[in-house]
Amino acid sequence: MIEEIGVSEDTIAMIRNFNSTVGLQTVRTEGTMHAQSGETDTRIYEDYRGVSVLSAYKPLAIEGLDWVILSDIDEDEAFAAVGHLRDSIVFVFVILILVIIIVSFLFSSGITKPIKALTKSSKELAGGNLDAKIRVKRADEIGVLALSFKSMRDSIHDLVQDLKDINANLENKVAERTKELKLQKDLMEEKNNEIVDSINYAERLQQAILPTINKMEEKFEDIFVLYKPKDIVSGDFYWMASKGSKVLIAAVDCTGHGVPGALVSVVGSNGLHRCIKEFDLSKPADILDRLTDIVIETFEADGTGVKDGMDIALCSLDRETNLVEFAGANNPLWISKKNSNDVEGIIEIKGDKQPVGAYEHRKPFTNHSIQLEKGDSIYLFTDGFADQFGGERGKKFKYKPFRELIAKSSNLPMEQQRTSLDYSFEKWKGEFEQVDDICLIGVRI
């Protein structure tokens, strides 16, 4: 190629002696082709050796010559400095990252370590250790937080100590109060036992004024008494006495029940006996009139106007003639004729609408006479049975169902009647409290 431009043979020989091929061979590469086509550029491609080179080329504007100027350098050689620079940058970057990590770790440790210490102290405090140590000593926000936390711990410690002192004081007061209450309880139990003993003794005294069923059966072959006090002692009582051929029997309801009623019952029982023995009375109406005077004298002797008294159904039965005389204070007498078992067969003899005792519109009691036949039955009672609350609706039993109940069982033997009436009462009462004393007497002529 250099021969074409007039280079001498000696020069060409010298070039060959230097083992160079410059100008001695045809070079046709991607760069020469682009340059010959008029392009000027710099690019990387494989040269005639098959080695990747960085080439810069440009066509020469010489008329009559299709020459180009081109400079090639191996890519590895061209970018060797860049590789070194890259490696240096990477090395510096890695070192910088490591420095940042170390600095961050040291910085974070300075923050997290006191926070962990505060966390540990808070857990100990939450677990009840009010003496937990708080050892964070810093002048920054964490130090302020630690100081506040310590102040809170001290406040809680003082509060707990105050509460312990208050609790100890309360325990002492409770112990003292408990001791006082126990003494009062023991005293109350002692007094209560005395009261119960007194009531039990009063019950025995009251039982002593009641006629025994054996004594009553000596006078009547077929008789029952259904007697159910509301309390240990009762304001209701039944009474019986004999005078010649006559037997007097009564069902009495005194003012109140329990101990007050029992006290009135003693007055009533003694008064009835006085009417028979002391005043020699036998007519029921005369007895009630005299009993009224006795009750008034007993309870109004001091002029206080006490209204204690009693409702009573009192009858006298002549065992020779079967003549029954009756007088009542607010309570009636029921008569069931022989072989009658319906409510229409129950005859009611009403008592006077006034009690035995103080009453503003007092009048003499009415005496009723009824001739009975053998097999007829009479019933005397107080209001406790009819006034009992019970059933599904918790209402009073009332007198109409009570009358029907007696009529239904009137032909049974008296003891069976008592059992039947007692069962009916308990079934009606159910879980309700008994509201009043109950006294019911049945006698078959």
> Which distant-in-sequence residues (6+ apart) come within 8 Å of 3 by Cβ?
12
State the average pLDDT over residues 354-378. Answer: 95
Distance CA 10, CA 392 (A): 148
State the average pLDDT over residues 176-191. Answer: 88
Count H helices, E strands: the chain?
10, 16
Residue 228: DSSP 8-state: E
State the average pLDDT over residues 33-53. Answer: 79
Nearest to 355 by CA among 438, 423, 299: 299
Q: Which residue type is seen at 101?
A: I
| Domains with residue ranges and CATH for the chain | 2-78 (no CATH), 91-209 (1.10.8.500), 211-444 (3.60.40.10)
The verdict on pTM exceeding 0.75 is: no
As to burial, measured by CB atoms within 10 angstroms (0-12 exposed, 13-18 middle, 19+ buried), residue 75 is: middle
Share of the chain above pLDDT 70, in %: 82
Distance CA 263, CA 272 (A): 15
pLDDT band at 248 (very low <50, low <70, confident <90, very high): very high
pLDDT exceeds cutoff 70 at 228: yes
**pLDDT tens-digit series, residues 48-61:** 777 788 788 788 77
